[in-house]
Amino acid sequence: MSPEHGGTRTFVNPLTPPGVYAPQEDTELLIGALSDEPVPPDADVLDVGTGSGALALEAARRGTRVTAVDVSWRAACAARLNALMAGVPVRVRRGNLFDPVRGESFDLILTNPPYVPAPGGERPPRGAARAWDAGGDGRLVLDRICREAPALLRPGGVLLLVQSALSSPELTLGHLREAGMKAAVTRRRHIAFGPVLRAREHWLREQGLLPPAENAENKEELVVVRAELPV
């Protein structure tokens, strides 16, 4: 997940209490990828790091059986409330990534994980920053998803993941392909820096994650990775 960017959204925002990640452009980009996916109404869908439940609600409106997971109690409660208000069934579980659904399998996994590189990345993020800070290279959670998601997919199942170009989409593609999946970037969008990236701009340039200031556009590229497990 990326911190606030602002901008126009085409989906209905669910309620987001303080401390719960509010849907942003990355959420919208992933919802667009979901709309392209031919998911049958009886499919089992997993939304990992659900936040307020925006992705889970979109999947549930298509008649799928949706499980939403988040490590935050506030997020889990918000997702339950938003599903109730939307009148769609969503099974919500609180836990760390895939831990609450061990032994289960899914036709589709959706995830907008933390992916923003953070200084002092050896320290676990706290509070709201858990929704976006992901270690010094931004891959603290992405690498775990690449390792663990394939085992939860049924043959022909699909993983849809959104991340920043700052956190090496090429590594995501490589790890997923090594796991036997067909993986590619299917959507891209450039957005203006939000407050967190503006505050870290100098550090990101020092790390070589952004080009030198004289070549700067002050924009971040978001990408959707689609990976399919062969039948």
Range from 5-19, 36-50, 116-130 carrying the lowest mean pLDDT: 5-19
Instruction: Report pTM.
Output: 0.91
- Structure confidence by residue, pLDDT tens digits, 138-173: 999 999 999 999 999 999 999 999 999 999 999 999
Q: Write the CB contacts of 222 (distance below 8 Å, at least 6 apart in sequence).
A: 2, 25, 26, 29, 162, 163, 164, 165, 188, 189, 190, 191
**Is the confidence at residue 184, as pLDDT, over 80?**
yes
| pLDDT-based confidence at residue 5 (cuts at 50, 70, 90) | very low
**Is the confidence at residue 9, as pLDDT, over 50?**
no
Q: Is 101 helix (H, G, I), strand (E, B) or coil?
A: helix
> Residue 206: what pLDDT?
84
Domains, the chain, in order of start with CATH, read 25-228 (3.40.50.150)
Percent of the chain's residues with pLDDT above 70: 90
Tell me the average pLDDT of the chain: 89
Mean pLDDT of 2-31: 74
Helices (H), 87-215: 142-148, 169-178, 195-206
Q: How far apart are alpha carbons 183 and 227 in whole angstroms?
A: 4
Q: Is 174 helix (H, G, I), strand (E, B) or coil?
A: helix
Q: How far apart are alpha carbons 203 and 170 in whole angstroms?
A: 22
- Structure confidence by residue, pLDDT tens digits, 52-87: 999 999 999 999 999 999 999 999 999 999 999 999
- Strands 90-94 and 106-111, by their bridges, are unpaired
Q: How far apart are alpha carbons 96 and 69 in whole angstroms?
A: 8
**Is the confidence at residue 109, as pLDDT, over 60?**
yes
Q: Please count the other Cβ atoms lying within 10 Å of the Cβ belonging to residue 175.
A: 19
Q: How far apart are alpha carbons 167 and 186 in whole angstroms?
A: 17
